[in-house]
Each structure stands twice: as structure tokens, then as C-alpha cells.
Structure 1
């Protein structure tokens, strides 16, 4: 008696179908995310995540009513900077952890003992944070609540700071779980992106980029809903995007992904409403620029670069966005050429940083980790392209989404040019791979037309489950390996 080849695979198909449920992927995400995130929150020294001291200062400053911060004059270098009021005990903790400098610096037992022994004194100090003072405060609230609750509960400053990290992780896990539960498709890509070592590292710190990534994943998941049957989800996604854009305005093009599918009724009315939602971000940016923002100051003077339209024998000591904008206006082709050149020259570096160059871009993971996560992301993306449901979305929708994603990438890179690159230089300095993670969830909408996908719900779920398996394997591996790497580097 012959056996059909298809019947031979039926047990495997039934197993995959049994696992292919969003709630099971949510449970897997919560297990891995909580375990790995807790490891990172407690093992990485306070302040040893990129930009964490300034982000912590922003969160702590909210307890003192510092919604925007204010400009101050540096008493030593006599330049204008942006600062917020902070509790001296909180500042002292990360200063002790960074006594040996940023990067792969071991923390001695004496430093740890000093940090744990810090006590509340009631004193405040000004913390210079020019690169975060203009961020909208909403996404810092979990950390602020943790700092305030720890102080009210009588916890030591050390435990209070750790509580701030834990609540940031909890907020991220809640948004990630909601994204996986509510998405109509794209579970594999969302799961892989949310479980990247860099994502979890940011989520388990005071760095607001972790909350940005979680909010982006949830917004993208909500936007997979039907605009006619579930309009409330679409406007909740728009609200999340507004919070993200008020924190970092260059991601504004992503707001208009809410126009998809283009075949939805009242398209022009939706466009008008989304355009109005962009106004608060512009107002916040203008107020922050007027009240507290200050140019980045550099101790060593420098001459402007070749794109500068004025005199080249000038000595500059700051990075002035207005001067950088003059350079771009004088060379309009540079608006496209500078980002494209940076991507062509540094794409492998950006990918490695997005996967996980932890600490102050100094904790390098094993080579197999980067290779495994690159494969996991590719498989997850292919699964998303194949397994989306057949609906009214067309190839034109995919093209429109691609333009918005590209616009977000270009705007983010040009913002780094204006705010961080020496005036008039013909390159972009300061781009980090984690900046692309906020955009990654919106690759969900680049999927081709409905003719590419299988017809049944079970088959689509099976494809997405299989596409998420490499990411699950890598997440399990990192759960075992990351503590060893962190212990070797920092302790």
C-alpha cells in the first residue's frame, strides 16, 4: 500500500497548526522578554547603556516639573547648554558606574559598594542633557513613576534606579505583547524585531528608544486592522505615532501609513485628519527650540566642511542646525546623496548595531549571534510577505508604504546630519543602528498583492509560525549567552 507524500507530513502540519496561534507567540515573547530583560536590567551597570545618563536625567527631571528643561551657561567653558534639575543621589549612582569611562570598563567591587551605599540627601543638581531635553516626556513616564515610587516607598537610591529600569521593561513588554496579540499579520517580523538583543537592552534601561520601538510595533500592529470595521484601533495607532513623533520628529512620514489601504473610503478626510495630528509635534518642536534647546558644543574648534556656502576659514565650536540647513540648501542633491552614501558605506555596521552592539556601542556579541539574527530577520520578513491575509491592499499600497518608510529613513539620517555632524561636512556622523529599529515594524506594509498568499487562515498561521522559529531559537540562545558576556566585560 502506497502512502501519499502529503500524509507523511500531516503530523508536522498538525503540530505547527497547534502552535500557530498569536497567544502562544505572545506567551513566548513574554517569557523570553522578561527573562532576558531582567538579566540586562540587573547585570548592565547603571549608565552603561548608550545615552542612559541623559535619558535618566530627563526621566528624573520630570519629578521636579522639568517638562522642557532650561538653558544654562556652563561655568567652565562658558557656552550655552540645556539642563534639567535632578536628584543628586540619582546622578551620583551613574557617575560612580562611569568612573572608569564609557565602554568596556569593568566595575570594581568598591564602585558597586559605593553606589549601593548612596543615600538620599534632598539635594538637587543640574544635569547637562542637550540631546534629550527636547524629547516629549510621555514615553519617559514608566521610568519617572519608578523613580518617584521608589523614593516614596523608602527604597535606597540604588534600588530606586533599578525600579525605574524594571518599569521601563514592563511598559515595553506590555506594548510588545499587545502588538503580537492584535496584529492581523506580521507576527514573525514583530516577534523577531522585539526580541533582538539591542531592542531588549534598550527596553531594560532608561533609554527611551526601547519605548519608541515598542510603541512602533504596537502602532504597526493596530494599522493592520480593517479601517471600516475597527476604526478605533487606527486612531489609537495614530495617537501612538504622534507620541513617537513628538519625541523624535524625523519619524513623521510614518504617521501617514494610516492612509493605507488607499482604497478605503473618505481617503481625503483621513489625510486631512492625519495632517492635523502632525501639528502638535511641530508646536512642541518649536516650543522646545525656543525654551531649552541648545547647539551641541565641541571643545576643539573646527573649520566648516566643503558644503558650507560661506567662508571656510571660520572657527566653529558648535553644531548649529540652522548652519547645517544652509549647507543643504546650497547643495540640494546632498539631501539624497548624503544618506545614500552613508547607507552604502555603513549598511553592515548599521545592521550589526541594530542586532546588538550593546553598552556604549562597545559590547560586541559573538559572530554567530549576528549571523543567526540576520537569518532570523530575513526569514521573518519573508514569512510576513507570504502570509498576510488577502484583503483590499494592493501593490500600490506596498509602493506607497515603501515611499513612507524611505522618507522616514532619509528624514532620520538628515536630522542626525543637522544635529550631530560638523557644519558643512560631506558625510553624516552619529547614525546608530538602533535608530532604524523604530522603522522596522512598518516593513509589514511592503507586502505584495493578495495573489502571493495562501488562501486559508491555518496555512498563513503555519507559515508565520515557521518564520518565527529562527528568532525563537536565537532568543533562547541569547538568554543563556548574554549573562556570560556581560559578566566577563563589566565585572
Structure 2
């Protein structure tokens, strides 16, 4: 019998998880210098572009070799000290309030600038940041005040989705909660970025999929529609997640019926359509580099010599895979701030306990979903690696570049749904209930000192 069958007992985990996430997120919000989350400046530009009514990025420049859009010219001026510090690799200013730029408000001349790595993203996961920008402009707030309001609204929006997802989970919840509370994920919730909602909306899709699985039944049409809609939001934002499109089919009442594959085909079509549109009207090559980049040549190399590409995958995972795991747990700033090593050991213990608990709670049904899910998650990993090799790695390079550990958090949220059923001793089952909170609580104790020391030198 699943551990969550005693419905009479109050379910406090979502609320405790929400409170812990808010507390840890506020630490990140306060401690991280402006623009010192991954791509935070360009995410801010993208949100400002959307706030002006430009919902989609576009190619710009006389020769259309850049991609971005229109922003308030004062936005860049307000953050010059932080941009300069990053360029010069010097410590960021210790306090915003001491800077003359802190008083700069909205209302500068319109500027068209290049932010090619975020211009390709759809607008919907930027809505909290856009709301903060519109509110800041309406209230006459400074750009720095608006920036912190955007961080706060992103945090609150992500936590709202997180709590909702954890309340809806019926199986696989402990693994999902543990991943959602990893410091890397929480730092994204408290950043001006789309990644916080990308992660938590993925959890919401997994939660909805867990309900028919826990009851050992097929998903209803309404459930499949909701799961499909949420997956579409994810895939348009991150096309390499598209192998997860197999999951609605595996939940269908009659998987062999022709209509059962329609949600999967629809998701693939939407993802392909958006990718084609963005690739032909928004995306441009990366900035000038001494290396040779060509997606066409790279793809030709993969197709003509799959064994060689297999060697690249193996070499990358052998040399860099451990780093991806560390990044998925806790990495901040410009991917250069790590916590003490023992925190990652605690995270491994937490994930191990979470897997044990979710297997204990698993229904043991729907082998089709478990098998399909494993293929989908593995396919997502392969597609993430391949897209980064095509797009971000020089032709014929020996390693895949540009991969970050947080890219794997969203597909990993589905892993708890794929476990077979086993039994745990009662004491271990009770102990494993605290697995999601091990890493964030202990990380919070080291976070202020770690960040302060890193940015003081």
C-alpha cells in the first residue's frame, strides 16, 4: 500500500517545502550581486523587451547578424559597475545604495541591442519579470528597485507552482521535492530568469502524470490535455526536452489506438514549428570566435561517423559528468561559486533516501509508462548533449561545450515516477521523509559566508 494512502493525515510537505524555498530564495535574492546569476543581464533585457510589447525577439543590425530587440537605454547605464566588474574580472561593488547608478530610473531613449542567447525564448515564463518592470515604470521606481522586485516576483511565482505541484503529486514526490529544493534550482527561482518557472512547471506536469499512475489507471482526457499543454510550454522554451512527448501516449487508455499518439505528434509538431520559426527568423550565430562553428558541418560529422560522436559523448561524460552533477546540486553566480564539498555528499544522501522512499510508495503498475519514461529521459539527455554539440561546440571538437547541470533538472523530475515498488523497514521509511530538506537547510548555513568570500576577492 502506498505511503500516502492515509488521506486523513494533514499533508504539510508542500507548505514546509514552500517555506524553506522562500527562506533560501530570499538569501539568494539578497546575497547575489545584480547580474551575477547565469545570463541574468540578457534575461533582464528580454523581459524589458516584452514589457514594451515586443513579444518575440528578432534579428537586428544592418546585416541582420545580431538578435535582440528594443529596450530602455537607461537599463544598461544602471548596471555599468556590475557589467564592468564582470568584464574586468574584478569584485562587484559591495553595495548598490552607494552607487550613483542606484538612482537611475526608467525613461531613457529606446535602444536596439543584441541579446542573442535569450532573444529566442518565448515570452510566457518572463511574465513575473515583465510585471515587475511594468509596475516599476508605473510607480516611478528606480531600475535597481525594479530589478529586485523582478527577482522577488520570480521567486514567489516559482514557489506558488512548486507548492501546487507537490500538493498534486501522488507518487514520485520525494525525488521531485528533493530536486526542486536543490540550491541550484532555488537560485534560479530568485533570479531574473525564465529557468525557475521552467523547472517548476516541469514538476507540475510530472505531478499530474503521477495521479493516474498511483491509482493504476489510464489518464483521463482532461489529464492528458493538461499534461500535454504543460509539456508544450516546456518544449517551446527548451526543445531538447521533446522526448518527454512520449509520456502522454504511455498514459493513454488504449495506447495502441491511433488517436492515442495524437498528443505526442502534436507536441513534436509544435516544437518543430517553433524551432523552425526561431531558427530562421531570430537565431543568429554565436559571437565571433577563433574556432570554426557550423551546425551543418557538425551534423554531417555525426551522421557520417556516429561512432566518433559516441566517443565525444563518452569523453565528455567521463571528463565533465561529475561537474554536471555538482552544478545540478549547487552552483551559483557565473557558474563559479560552489559550496563546501560535504554539501554535495549530503545531496547524494538526500537523493538516495528520496529514491528509496518513492520506490516504497510506488504503485508498481504501468510498466509501459516506466519503460517509455526511461527512454524519454535518456533521449532528453542525448538531445541536450547533441544540441549543445551542434550549436555551442566547434566543429569536430573533442568535448561537448556549453552544457550546464541545471539543464537536466527538469527531466529528472520524472524519475520518481519510473520506480518499481519495494518495501522499506518502517524506521527507514520514516527517516526518508526528511530527504528533501537535508541539502537546502544545511546549504543555507554556508551560503552567506561562501558568497561573501567569493565576491570579496
Which residue number in structure 2 is paired with residue 32 of structure 1?
Answer: 20
Where does residue 9 of structure 1 map in the other structure?
none
What do the CA deviations read for 1:155-182 (whole angstroms, capped 9, x no partner)? 2211111111111111110111111100
Q: Structure 1 residues 17 and 476, CA, compared in 2 at 3 Å: closer, same or farther?
A: farther
Verify: 1:320 aligned to 2:285, yes or no: no
8 Å CA contact retained: 2:25, 2:189: yes
1:72 aligns with 60
Range 332-341 or range 51-60, more displaced? 332-341
Structure 1: how far apart are the matches of 2:170 and 2:270? 30
Match of 2:286 among 281, 285, 296: 296
Name the CA distance, whole Å, in 2 between partners of 1:17 and 1:365.
38
Match of 1:55 in 2: 43
User: Does 1:282 pair with 2:254?
Assistant: no
Deviates more, 1:81-90 or 1:213-222: 81-90
Residue 70 of structure 1: how far off its partner (Å): 2.1
Partner of residue 230, structure 2: 240
Query: Are 1:178 and 2:164 matched, yes or no?
Result: yes
Corresponding residue number in structure 2 for 1:129: 115
Looking at structure 2, the residues matched to 438 and 79 of structure 1 have their Cα atoms a distance apart, in angstroms, of 33
The 8 Å contact of residues 225 and 233 in structure 1, kept in 2 or not, is answered as no
CA contact (8 A) 1:68 1:291 kept: no
State the distance in 2 between where 1:214 and 1:171 align.
9
- Quote the offset at 1:349 in angstroms: 0.8
1:373 is the counterpart of 2:347: yes
Q: Give the Cα separation in 2 of the matches to 1:184 and 1:399.
A: 19
Q: Distance in 1 between matches of 2:428 and 2:122?
A: 39
Shift of 1:353: 0.7
Distance 1:430 1:108 in 2: 30
Change over 3 Å in CA distance of 1:110–1:181 after alignment to 2: closer
Q: Which residue of 2 aligns with 1:96?
A: 81
Cα distance in 1 between the residues matched to 2:268 and 2:416: 22
Instruction: Summarize the Cα distance change of 1:186–1:63 in structure 2 as closer, same or farther, 3 Å threshold.
Output: same
Instruction: Verify the 8 A CA contact 1:104 1:363 in the aligned structure 2.
Output: no
- For the 8 Å contact 1:384–1:444, the answer to whether it is kept is yes
Of residues 364, 372, 387, the one that matches 1:400 is 372
The answer on whether the counterparts of 2:72 and 2:109 sit within 8 Å (CA) in structure 1 is: yes
Q: Which residue of 2 aligns with 1:437?
A: 409
> Which structure has the greater CA radius of gyration?
1
**Partner in structure 2 of residue 7 of structure 1:** none
Select the residue among 380, 383, 388 that pairs with 1:411.
383
Check 1:181–1:334 CA distance in 2 against 1; reply closer, same or farther (3 A cut): farther
CA deviation vs aligned residue, 1:382-407 (integer Å, no higher than 9, x gap): 221222124x312x432221111100
Query: 2:362 maps to which residue?
Result: 388
Change (3 A) 1:285 1:464: farther
Q: What is the TM-score with the length of structure 1 in the denominator?
A: 0.84
Q: Which residue of 1 aligns with 2:131?
A: 145
The separation in 2 between residues aligned to 1:202 and 1:123, in whole angstroms, is 30
Decide which moves more: 107-116 or 55-64.
Answer: 107-116
Whether the 8 Å contact between 1:188 and 1:465 is mirrored in structure 2 is no
Q: Give the Cα–Cα distance (whole angstroms) in 2 for the partners of residues 339 and 376 of structure 1.
A: 28
Q: Structure 1 residues 166 and 104, CA, compared in 2 at 3 Å: closer, same or farther?
A: farther
Do the aligned residues in 2 keep the contact of 1:22 with 1:181 (CA within 8 Å)? no
Q: Could you report, residue by residue, the CA deviation over 1:280-313 in whole angstroms, capped at 9, with x for unpaired residues? A: 22212111122121011224x23xxxxxxxxxxx
Whole-angstrom distance in 2 between the partners of 1:168 and 1:220:
21
**Aligned residues of 2:158 and 2:197 also touching (Cα < 8 A):** yes
For 2:311 and 2:371, the matched residues in 1 are separated by 21
Q: Report SS of the residue matched to 1:223.
A: helix
- Alignment equivalent of 1:221, drawn from 188, 202, 207: 207
Q: In the alignment, is the contact (CA less than 8 A) between 1:242 and 1:277 conserved in 2?
A: yes
For 2:336, the equivalent position in structure 1 comes to 362
Q: 1:257 matched to which residue of 2? A: 247
CA contact (8 A) 1:104 1:362 kept: no
| Number of corresponding residues | 448
Distance verdict in 2 for CA 1:275–1:331, change over 3 Å: same
Question: CA separation of 1:270/1:298 partners in 2, compared to 1, >3 Å: closer, same or farther?
Answer: same
Structure 2 gaps, min length 5: none
Q: Which runs of 5+ in 1 are unaligned?
A: 1-15, 303-315
- Give the superposed CA RMSD: 2.7
Distance 1:209 1:367 in 2: 25
TM-score, length of structure 2 as denominator length: 0.90
Q: Confirm or deny: 8 A CA contact 1:176 1:218 kept in the other structure.
A: yes
Please report how far the alpha carbon of residue 20 of structure 1 lies from its aligned counterpart in structure 2 after TM superposition: 10
* Cα deviation, residue 335, structure 1: 4.8
Between the aligned partners of 1:298 and 1:118, the Cα distance in structure 2 is: 32
- Residue in 2 aligned with 1:424? 396
Q: Check 1:357–1:22 CA distance in 2 against 1; reply closer, same or farther (3 A cut).
A: farther
Q: Which residue of 2 aligns with 1:10?
A: none
Identify if the C-alpha distance between structure 1 residues 234 and 296 changes in structure 2 by more than 3 Å, giving closer, same or farther: same
